[in-house]
A and B are shown apart, each in its own frame.
Chain A
Amino acid sequence: MLTIADQSFHSRLLLGSGKFSTPQLMQQAIKASGSQLVTLAIKRLELDKPRNDLLTPLRAMTIQLLPNTSGAKTAKEAIFAAELARDALQTNWLKLEIHPDPRYLMPDPIETLAAAEQLVKLGFVVLPYCSADPVLCKRLEQVGCAAVMPLGAAIGSNQGIQTRAMLEIIIEQATVPVIIDAGLGAPSHAAAAMELGAAAVLVNTAIAASQDPVAMAGAFAQAVSAGRIAYKAGLAATQAYAASSPLTDFLAAL
Chain B
Amino acid sequence: MHIMLNDTPLQLAAVSTLAQLLQQQQLNTEGLAIAVNDSVIAKRLWHEYQLQNHDQIQLFQIVTGG
Residues of A within 8 A of B (CB): 16-20, 23, 26, 39-47, 51, 53-56, 67-68, 70, 80, 83-85, 87-90, 155-156, 202, 204-205
Contacts and interface: CB of A to CB of B under 8 A. Distances in A.
Classify the secondary structure of A's interface with B: mixed
A155 B65 CA distance: 12
Nearest to B31: A55
A67 B64 CA distance: 9
Interface residues of B, number: 24
Contacts, number: 94
Interface string B26-66: 00101111110010101100000000000000111111111
B64 A42 contact: no
B63 A42 contact: yes
B8 interface: yes
B5 interface: yes
A144 B41 CA distance: 26
Given A40-B65, A43-B63, A88 B31 contact: yes
Kindly list the 5 A-B residue pairs having the minimum CB-CB distance in the complex, ordered from nearest.
A41-B65, A16-B66, A204-B66, A88-B33, A84-B33
Most buried by B among A16, A23, A26, A44: A44
Contacts of B5: 47
Given A55-B31, A87-B40, A19 B66 contact: yes
14 contacts: A39-B66, A41-B64, A43-B60, A44-B59, A45-B61, A47-B5, A56-B30, A67-B62, A68-B65, A84-B40, A85-B33, A85-B62, A87-B34, A89-B62
